[in-house]
A and B are shown apart, each in its own frame.
Chain A
Amino acid sequence: MFSRRLLLVLGALASVAALLAGLYFGRAGLGFDGGGGRRDAATLLAITLPDTAGAPQTLGQWRGKVLVVNFWATWCSPCREEMPEFVRAQADLGARGLQFVGIAIDSPDKVRAFVDEIGLNYPSLVGGHGAMELSKTLGNRLMALPFTVVIDRQGAIVHTQLGPLRDAQLRSIVGQLL
């Protein structure tokens, strides 16, 4: 009995420690916590995917900007919900070096239709299962959406988030990088 109590206390402390660590590294919120602090975004920046017109685009072309890579899909309601906020942030902060890039896990025609519908003012590339697997290597263990990665001007991943990235949180994260 006593050891079970002790385990409970230790367990509680461990979860507190984990949560504190998550907060300390700025990776909490509804976010995934892959741990490990800053990581190189080289793998992500090296990938090439077609844009909505079918032209190949390499993420590395935006190196040097504060890059927000958002994995999304038209079949994902919370993704669609948060994207208008990204459009506003791109309009507000683009001149200061903020660059959003979408990676849609979807078919090109559906992506094009939605891009037109909301007047997306940043590029969205079109990926398939491979892109989803890529997000898994970045910490999207469940391969769920939306999943968003913030990369600083030096090419390091400073934040990854599974689930909506709210406007205030987004602006607070990128505000320190711009």
Chain B
Amino acid sequence: MDSLPTSNGSVRKRQFADGAAAVTAAERPAGRRPGPVAAAPGRAQAPVPTLALALLLAVWPAAAPAQVKLLENERAFAFAGRGLDDRTVEARFVVADGYYLYRDKLRFSVDGAVLAAAPTLPPGKVKDDEFFGKVETYRGMVLVKLPLDAAAPGRPVTIRAESQGCADVGVCYPPQVQQITVTLPVAGGKPSVPVEAAPEKKRWFN
């Protein structure tokens, strides 16, 4: 059993490493490899961690299990926001690794205040899409300041963000609307704590 920790460690590492590789591999034509599968049952005698590792290595790239990796729409493109000052909400998307948002599909609307001007969207990364031509996309974190009129400190403001994005593996999500309600700080006060549209999992923040 002494070898177990080390073996286990490598199994676990391989899992992550190969999992990440599989996402990239999925962009290539997916070819099923029946060889390892057919051979697998006959190898039941091998030490368990070795067997697991061998099977993972043999099967994982071929299987390219996007279903294991793909996130829900609202997790892939996690929307949040906070009251930055007494007349500004800072909207925020955190785009998960391997996903991108289309800049020109971003829309914001406000309840409980009025957008003072069309929000200035940060420049995206220009992607030369075979069909859409040059489109700008966002990865990572996107911050957009929403200038508000008729807002009052302490009063709730609801922000609805419409977005549409895709995963690099070749899957696109339909447009979605996410909503948060924030309270603006008083003039000169500290920004409010960020509110997440889908708060059950906090791992996309902090």
Contacts and interface: CB of A to CB of B under 8 A. Distances in A.
Interface residues of B, number: 48
Contact of B166 (A28, A30, A77): A77
A26 B62 CA distance: 12
Interface stretch (B87-95, B126-134, B154-162, B184-192): B126-134
Contacts of B60: 19
B8 A143 contact: no
A44 B171 CA distance: 22
A15 B173 contact: no
B42 interface: no
A80 B101 CA distance: 18
Interface stretch (A47-55, A57-65, A86-94, A161-169): A161-169
Interface of A: 5, 8-9, 12-13, 15-16, 19-20, 22-24, 26, 28-33, 73, 75-81, 105, 132, 141-146, 162-164, 166-169
Given A16-B59, A22-B65, A9 B172 contact: no
Nearest to A29: B30
B40 to A, nearest CB: 6
Contacts of B52: 9, 12-13, 16
Contacts of A146: 170-172
B32 interface: yes
B56 A15 contact: yes
Interface stretch (B67-75, B106-114, B144-152, B193-201): B67-75
B43 to A, nearest CB: 11
